[in-house]
A = this chain, B = another copy of it.
Amino acid sequence: MTKFMDVHHGMEGITADQLHQAHQADLAIESDENVHFESAWADPESGTVYCLSEAPSADAVQRVHERAGHKADEIHAVPLSV
């Protein structure tokens, strides 16, 4: 398993409730792909959302996000962390 940071653009004006619902939608189906979404952070002004996950692959992360209705624009493996 590896940690991934994925990035969504175009979510200008996202609200706390919308972020919560999107995260819950991921959590509801993530186990199908052996993915776990740990945290997400959102900047409503620039419309940027960052999601930190642990997953077997970037494709698995994207499949969960896609099924939940919010494909990621970027997905980076982040094997190093402090």
With A5-B41, A41-B52, A52-B41: A46-B76 Cβ-Cβ less than 8 Å = yes
Residues on B with C-beta less than 8 A from A79 are 42-44
Query: How many Å lie between the Cα of A23 and that of B82 in the bound state?
Result: 7
- Chain B contacts of A19 at CB under 8 A? 80-82
Using CB atoms and an 8 Å cutoff, list the residues of chain A in contact with chain B: 3, 5, 14-16, 19-20, 23, 39-46, 48, 50, 52, 76-82
Q: Could you write out 28 A-B pairs with CB less than 8 Å apart? A: A3-B41, A5-B41, A5-B43, A5-B48, A5-B50, A14-B80, A19-B80, A19-B81, A19-B82, A20-B82, A39-B81, A39-B82, A40-B81, A40-B82, A41-B52, A41-B78, A41-B80, A42-B78, A42-B79, A42-B80, A42-B81, A43-B77, A43-B78, A43-B80, A44-B80, A45-B76, A46-B76, A50-B78
